[in-house]
A and B are shown apart, each in its own frame.
Chain A
Amino acid sequence: MEGGNRDACEWPWYVSSLLWLRQNSEALRDPHTTTPEPEAFKPLVADDHVFVLTKYDENHLEVCKLEITSTGPSLQTICSLELPPLMSGVEVYSTGIFVEWVPTSKNYARSRSSRASHSHFYSSTFGTIALLLDYFKPSDPSLGSSNYVLIIGIEALLYTIRTGVRNVPWADWGPSNTHFFKRTLLFPAGPSWITGRSPLVLRQYYPRRTRYAPSIPEDTSSSSHTEPQVCPSTEVFGKLLDEHNVETNLPYRDVVVNNLNLDLAEVILADREWIVGMAKTSVR
């Protein structure tokens, strides 16, 4: 690439990033503020558009679209999705959004073929994202905070966005397109989520496979492997949440990898082919 000024570059590239300016120290000091943490913003490229997900106020996930005009970039709010209903007096804040790394370059496949990759396939779309939510009751600190994960099926999310409804109640989009569960371990690993390290557990969501299962053309070749069982992900939680309303049904399956133990790893990085575990050790 020959850089230079804006007009001299003819090849297409696209980069977006959300950055954090540490200038509002008040907001940083107060964990219960509605000011968002930097990780609560996440760009999502779909259909050549950049959507930005942000959870910032009153139990809603706001979806914005990035508009780039001659006057500069701006965010246009498209819709606001209600999160699981809360008990009275309970507040929620988001501590992050995890998204699988997905290439957005049109030339990606060509450049990739020159490397010694073992897989011929790569993710072309975001399958799911994970929204980390922490619940607390200011009037009763003894309850502490409860940490949950909301896995959201992106295809259904985009469908909801395109309906044009500005404020979408939880019941209209949440139960069928999400999986809500108590947070333990969670790292994105290609199309899966690592939810256990000893042994390694990969949680996979296959909304398309579930939806199209009756229509998938049969393979003539025989398949000897056994598919892991798909779970309906129906779980209900109470205490800080309205337990009668938090029921989610996005199907998933847990794949256990018995020959890999990442118990000592403090940090786990993973993509479609690699898992990198990092542990502290003292070397003399």
Chain B
Amino acid sequence: MAPKRTNRKIKRKLVKLAAITTSTYPPSILLHLPTELLVKILAYLPVKDLFSVRWTCRALSDIIAGTAYLRYIIRAHINGVEDSLPPDFPYSERLELLRRHEQSWSAPQFNLFTKCVTKKSFPEYFILQDGYLIYESILADPPQYRYTDLYSAARNEELRWVHITIDNSLVPPLDGVTFAIDHNLVVGLRFVSLTILLWVQNLTEVLATSNLEMVMVSIYNLPFWNSRLVHFILSHQLILCRFHKFMGTAILLCAQKS
């Protein structure tokens, strides 16, 4: 009998609370706004708050469920994707494309596109970034780089490689190259050891007093797309302390421009 009495008590309290709520707070002004305006207001919310709103009010929940734009941004958030569609592309159609995209990942169909022979063998390195298959032969002297755009490749035909020739007359030997395709960028890196740095006047005193190990890193960059003959251009020179906690075996290299 005790649980039933408890339930009745809870019910009575809820009724009281509802009475207080309705008498204390006026009807929501928000819900009297035109739907178009509410959609614009809701569009300002972070996606996780849109989920919360759906649980607070049936009217707002219906508005979200009935608005293609809001449904789209929710589904894109869940899938962790952005689109490259034109800005004026209708959201109802965008939503449909996203739904098909979800389906394609539920039952992916990969078709054999092409088989080809590359004359270079392992342990050369291949990198795949955004459909660009990049080849780097770091053991060659000088290092060789080439790439092919898989999106431009023809089915069952040999891949066409674009060779990148590094003009060594302009750039000292590089110690490494990093590709950042989405930035249209190749970054060449060159390290200068501590002993070479000692002649730098303003560093000598620092080195002598703190016993820090220093590395100078020169960064050269060039545009990636349609590169044939590379003219790396000196962009940055960084002087980095080796991180003591990493026991001098690794350094972090970073270049930022804004």
Contacts and interface: CB of A to CB of B under 8 A. Distances in A.
Interface of A: 1, 3-6, 9, 11-21, 23-24, 27, 35-36, 38, 41, 50, 52, 54, 56, 66, 68, 72-73, 75, 101, 103-105, 108-113, 115-117, 119-125, 127, 191-192, 200, 202, 204, 206, 208-209, 212, 215-219, 221, 223, 225-228, 255, 257, 259-260, 266-267, 269-271, 273-276, 278, 280-281, 283
A271 B131 contact: yes
Given A111-B184, A112-B130, A259-B110, A41 B233 contact: no
Contact of A116 (B133, B152, B245): B152
A121 B249 contact: no
Contacts of B256: 13-16, 68
Interface string B64-90: 110000110011111111111110000
B178 interface: yes
Interface string B20-45: 00000000000000000000000000
Contacts of A202: 108
A145 B109 CA distance: 37
Contacts of A73: 238, 240, 252, 254
Given A20-B249, A208-B77, A276-B126, A72 B185 contact: no
Q: Most chain-A CB neighbours within 10 Å: which of B77, B215, B246? A: B246
Contacts, number: 246
Interface residues of B, number: 87
B204 interface: no
Contact of B257 (A6, A41, A223, A273): A6
A193 B120 CA distance: 27
| Nearest 6 CB-CB pairings of A with B | A3-B233, A103-B182, A269-B128, A109-B84, A124-B82, A121-B81
Interface string B240-251: 101101111111
Nearest to A100: B80
Q: Most chain-B CB neighbours within 10 Å: which of A120, A202, A216, A227? A: A120
A3 B223 CA distance: 9
B197 interface: no
A271 B131 CA distance: 7
A186 to B, nearest CB: 16
Contact of A72 (B101, B107, B127, B238): B238
Given A223-B99, A227-B106, A41 B252 contact: yes
Nearest to B71: A217
Contact of B250 (A12, A38, A121, A216): A38
B126 A278 contact: yes
B71 A117 contact: no
B257 A116 contact: no
Given A13-B257, A18-B253, A41-B250, A191 B84 contact: no
Given A105-B182, A105-B183, A124-B81, 12 more contacts: A18-B251, A19-B250, A19-B251, A38-B249, A109-B82, A111-B184, A115-B151, A121-B84, A127-B80, A216-B74, A219-B99, A276-B126
B78 A109 contact: no
B183 A13 contact: yes
B97 interface: yes
A259 B254 contact: no
B162 interface: no
B258 interface: yes
B61 to A, nearest CB: 8
A3 B220 CA distance: 9
Contacts of A125: 80
B178 A228 contact: no
B98 interface: yes
Contacts of B185: 1, 13, 15
B254 A19 contact: no
A283 B128 contact: no
Contacts of A56: 245-246
Given A66-B254, A117-B151, A109 B106 contact: no
Given A73-B252, A124-B80, A215 B51 contact: yes
Contacts of B117: 281, 283
6 contacts: A13-B180, A17-B178, A21-B249, A56-B246, A125-B80, A255-B105
Contacts of A117: 84, 131, 151
B239 interface: yes
Contact of B254 (A17, A27, A38, A280): A17
B84 A120 contact: yes
Given A9-B257, A66-B252, A212-B51, A122 B106 contact: no
A3 B221 contact: yes
A17 B188 CA distance: 11
